[in-house]
Amino acid sequence: MEKVRWGFIGAGYIAKKALYPALLNSHEGEIYAVGSRDEARGKELSPTGLVYTDYNELLADPQVEAVYISLPNSLHIQWSIAAMRAGKHVLCEKPAAMNLSQLKEAIAVADETGLIFMEASWNRWHPRTIRLKEIVDSGVIGDVKEIRSAFTYNGLDEGNIRTIYELGGGGLYDLGPYSVAAPIWLMDYAPISNITTDVKWHPGGSDETLRATFDIGGARAETLTSMDTPGTLYFDVVGTKGRVSLLGNDAFVSWNKESSLELDVAGEITVEKFAACDPYQLMADSMSRRIRGGQGWLMPHSDSIAFATVFDQIFAVMGRP
């Protein structure tokens, strides 16, 4: 299969850490060009040396077949739509949109053009994540009653875009697509209710720390996102017959290292281990194969719609400082 030629729109930290090494190691896709306002930074991520300082010039290049967008959150939909209008498939960093209305606008363009538009929720491709869902669906832990999930880090400097509300900053946008979205897909997108929130606001206007709880599908979910808390990551699911937990303080960031989960049924504990893998590459390869007409799982629009719906509900309860 001829490799899919990818263009990057944005050449920041996430692009460098995530999709750059994924495509360098891929047999399905390759980095053909990079769009970056900073040409020097763009060249660091362009194996071909081709860099466009104008994103529109990259979109006008007929050799670019798909684009990966890793701009500030507030720009995701604008450039996703522009890319699809230019005939490019789109893999957009999470969150794909600032709200449900924006998301539906982009999905409408994807439906109209027949192009792939997908939110880059890379953790969903991790074999451990897939296995946790299989365990819950099997019924071995009974009916799910409690879900606990968290993703925190600290050390952001004051100028980081993640602190700026107008740019789509905040823990819910940055980390929520992992820890807040987890109960949603785990419980098959059941409606949520009885939302409560406890928020610490950053001076930049974004939510710095958010504890959100809600009922979903007969379970009570307790979620934590924080940009001002030492790194804490967990995903624990408790049912009427047992529990399953992702071990290692890496529930949503296991990347190129071994990982494990623990299953406890009636006091009988089993630990399952998973080989090191790159879920970013698994995601990009799946999409590249689909672009070429092959097989590969794509996260459906309905998942992104469910996440955006819940985020809108949580934001409505949070209010503003």
The set of catalytic residues is 94
- Note whether 314 and 212 are within 8 A (CB): yes
Identity of the amino acid at 209:
T
User: Which amino acid is residue 12, in one-letter code?
Assistant: G
Q: Which of 224, 46, 100 is nearest to 151 (CA)?
A: 224
Q: Would you call 182 helix, strand, or coil by DSSP?
A: helix
Q: Output phi, psi for 150, to 5 deg.
A: -150, 145
User: What's the distance, Cα to Cα, between the start and end of the chain in Å?
Assistant: 53
- Could you give the angle at the alpha carbon of 225 between the alpha carbons of 154 and 260, nearest 5°? 90
Helices (H), the chain: 13-17, 19-24, 39-44, 55-60, 76-85, 100-113, 127-138, 171-179, 181-186, 279-291, 301-318
Q: Which of 269, 220, 218 is nearest to 245 (CA)?
A: 269
In 162-284, the DSSP E strands lie at 192-201, 207-216, 219-226, 233-239, 242-247, 259-265, 268-274
